[in-house]
Chain A
Amino acid sequence: MSSETFKLIIYISFGTILMNNFVLSNFLGICPFLGVSKRLDSAMGMSVAVIFVMIIASIITNLAYNYLLLPNDLEYLQTITFILVIAGFVQLIELFMKKTLPGLYMTLGIYLPLITTNCAILGVALINVQEDYNLWQSTLYGASAGVGFMLATIIFAGIRERLDSSDIPKFFKGLPIALITAAFLSLAFSGFKGIFG
């Protein structure tokens, strides 16, 4: 492996997990971030589903873009095509999983349809195109984006579980204090900016 490739791997993975965290600095996937972060185990399940779907979405949209849209000069159709292929493919995998891996389906199954049409997933696909990543680069980017989501959501779920048992003024209870906490978390993550100079 050349040092250039190694640098690129470090840049894509750490850059996406810490510096340009999907939730905390790109503001993508806020809905599942707030929705499932009430309890640690559901946050975990959702995060694994997000990583899974992001990797699959990166691979399949990269193929669709390079082999269907580019040769026919149809770049402007990328949004609708990406939605179509991601949704269709995840549905296929869900059916397959239900039959062959019922154990995995019980833990991931309910989250898959929720996450399929999420903006974070489409965001991964569109940023891949924007940055001109090739197949392995976009797969890595998708995986890192998912891990970044997992990191943010699990930290947040841990904080929210603590918040549940702490004495908060009534008007701050629930979502208001959660949003303030998310803002602090986002500020904290902005400290990672500039790691690569």
Chain B
Amino acid sequence: MLENIMMPIYIVGGIGLFFALALTIAGRVFEVEVNEDVQRVRDVLPGANCGACGYAGCDLYAQAVAERKAEPNLCTPGGPSTAEKIGEILGLDVDAPDMPVLKTLCCPDTKQVFEYSGIQTCQAAVMNYMGEGTCTYACLGFGDCVAACQYGAIKMQDNIPIIDPELCTRCGLCVKACPKNLIQYLDGDFGYYVACVNKEIGRVTNRSCKNGCIACMLCVKACEYDAIHVIDNVAIIDQEKCTRCGKCYDVCPKDIIKMFCAKH
């Protein structure tokens, strides 16, 4: 009777014990030296596996950094603080990464053409004659971007989304959520941008929105560095050529050339 109970215990327990011992011994014998830096770098990375650094995941990026094959400042979600920590671990001097800023290129002052009372999202509203306002390019203000943001970085203010650069991780989900493609990446710590994307000619734009770019060319003439061009009836600032002199900001008759700053 006792044997009937003990035999299974012996056998299964024996197998378990055998493999436990075998694995322990094998673990010692076949030990592979792992670069400790890889693990430590991996620990300070956010672990989002977003691929913004150009590697397939945080593990591979950590390995590349630890082997000095990649720059330590490529992690966009981690930002400067992660780059600094990686620099500390590996004993490198790290340049803070270029952090693009996300801005809404719109500051609507439009009139209502009709009243929209359908589903209260931009995605739905845009299907009805591109929204209820006079400008078909303008922000609809239902806040699809606010809903898309996982970090609570976007708030609606005066009917346009304001993105908090401190909370923003530059993941770009809001860029995808906007049906009018108004949210765009702007390079640099600070600079100027044109807060309008209306591609109509000036006369039409002027009628639909008080804050629209009318392609008057004043900013293009004011710029000494060939950084502003009017393309499709809307001024666009080339952030690479721009020296942040601010002359376009001063001449804009509509006051829609605005400043952006990575730290508020």
Bound state CA distance, A89 and B15, in angstroms? 11
User: Is B26 a contact partner of A92 (Cβ separation < 8 A)?
Assistant: yes
Distance in Å: Cβ of A176 to nearest Cβ of chain B: 21
Q: Which residues of B contact A69 (CB under 8 A)?
A: 11
Q: Are B23 and A84 touching (Cβ within 8 A)?
A: no
Within 8 A of B (CB), among A85-116: 85, 88-89, 91-92, 95-96, 98-100
Verify if A25 is at the interface (C-beta below 8 Å from B): no
CA distance A100 to B31 in the complex (A): 10
Bound Cα distance from A96 to B18, whole angstroms: 17
Asked if A98 and B30 make an inter-chain contact with CB atoms under 8 angstroms apart, the answer reads yes
| A interface residues (Cβ-Cβ under 8 A, vs B) | 64, 68-69, 72, 74, 77, 80-81, 84-85, 88-89, 91-92, 95-96, 98-100
User: Given A74-B8, A98-B32: A81 and B15 within 8 A (CB)?
Assistant: yes
Which residues of chain A have C-beta atoms less than 8 A from B22's C-beta? 88, 92
Residue-by-residue, is B5-26 near A (CB-CB < 8 Å gives 1, otherwise 0)? 0011001100110110011001
Quick check: B11 and A84 within 8 Å, CB to CB? no
- Where chain B touches its partner, the secondary structure class is helix
Contact for B19 among A68, A74, A84, A98, CB less than 8 A: A84
* Tier of interface size on chain B: 10 to 19
Q: B91 near A: Cβ within 8 Å?
A: no
Q: Which residues of B contact A (CB under 8 A)?
A: 7-8, 11-12, 15-16, 18-19, 22-23, 26-27, 29-32
Q: How far is the CB of A166 from chain B (nearest CB, A)?
A: 22
Q: Which residues of A contact B26 (CB under 8 A)?
A: 92, 95-96
What residues on A are CB-neighbors of B31 within 8 Å?
A: 99
**A84's contact among B8, B15, B30, by CB below 8 Å, is which?**
B15
A84-B12 in contact (CB<8A): yes
Known contacts A92-B22, A95-B30; is A85 also within 8 Å of B8 by CB?
A: no
Task: Collect the chain B residues with CB atoms within 8 Å of residue A72's CB.
Answer: 7, 11
Instruction: Provide the bound-state CA to CA distance between A99 and B31, in Å.
Output: 7
Our pick among B7, B15, B23 for the contact of A85 (Cβ within 8 Å) is B15
Q: Can you name 25 A-B residue pairings with CB atoms under 8 Å?
A: A64-B15, A69-B11, A74-B7, A74-B8, A74-B11, A77-B8, A80-B12, A81-B15, A84-B12, A84-B16, A84-B19, A88-B15, A88-B18, A88-B23, A89-B19, A91-B19, A92-B22, A95-B23, A95-B27, A96-B26, A98-B30, A98-B32, A99-B29, A99-B31, A100-B30
Q: Which of B8, B16, B23 meets A92, CB within 8 Å?
A: B23
CB-CB under 8 A from A64, the residues of chain B are 15
**Are A81 and B19 closer than 8 Å at their CB atoms?**
no
Nearest Cβ in chain A — how far from B171, in angstroms? 21
The distance from the CB of B9 to the nearest CB of chain A, in whole angstroms, is 10
B26, B27, B29, B32 — most chain A CB neighbours (10 Å): B26
